């Protein structure tokens, strides 16, 4: 039952697969893929259908990432600096060492409003066929 709930949650939070990806407006943001691995193990319903990805994203001083969603859910860890995250009109500042969750299906923006770089680790669940950045332009749900 637990595995079925995890699979249902994951599937409901992933947008439709799309090979052709539109770009999200950004300025002074650099992403480096650190690791990507196909899911395998005891959650057999997910095996071979999804992958886990870790990306380190650096926001230079003054950087902004325009309105976007993600191709899948994920946890974020602020490695260094302070990231301003705006979702549904609410601003939250995440500082070094803080984690936060993104479901993937909610439009938001991210900014570095400081004078030092911000580094964030993105831990994501993505469809197996997904390639390229996980950010996608907003979609109506």
Could you list the pLDDT tens digit for every one of the 141 residues in the chain? 555 445 444 544 444 444 446 889 999 999 999 999 999 999 999 999 999 999 999 999 999 999 999 999 999 999 999 999 999 999 999 999 999 999 999 999 999 999 999 999 999 999 999 999 999 998 765
| pTM over cut 0.75 | yes
- Residue 40: helix, strand or coil by DSSP? coil
Kind of pairing between the strands at 26-38 and 50-70: antiparallel
Site of tokens 């947008």: 15
Q: What is the CATH number of domain 2-16+23-136?
A: 2.60.120.10
Residue pair 13/72 in contact (Cβ under 8 Å)? The answer is yes
Q: Which residues pair with 32 in a beta bridge?
A: 56
Cα 35 from Cα 52, distance rounded (Å): 8
């Amino acid at each position: 039952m637990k595995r079925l709930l995890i699979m249902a949650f994951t599937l409901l939070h992933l947008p439709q697969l799309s090979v052709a990806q539109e770009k999200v407006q950004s300025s002074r943001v650099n992403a480096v893929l650190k690791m990507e691995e196909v899911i395998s193990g005891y959650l057999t319903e997910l095996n071979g259908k999804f992958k886990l990805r870790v990306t380190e994203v650096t926001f230079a001083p003054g950087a902004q990432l325009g309105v976007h969603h993600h191709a899948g859910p994920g946890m974020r860890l602020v490695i260094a600096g302070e990231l301003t995250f705006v979702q549904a009109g609410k601003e939250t500042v995440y500082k070094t060492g803080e984690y936060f969750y993104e479901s993937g299906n909610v439009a938001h923006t991210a900014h570095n409003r400081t004078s030092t770089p911000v580094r964030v680790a993105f831990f994501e669940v993505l469809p197996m066929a997904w390639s390229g950045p996980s950010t996608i332009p907003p979609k109506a749900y």
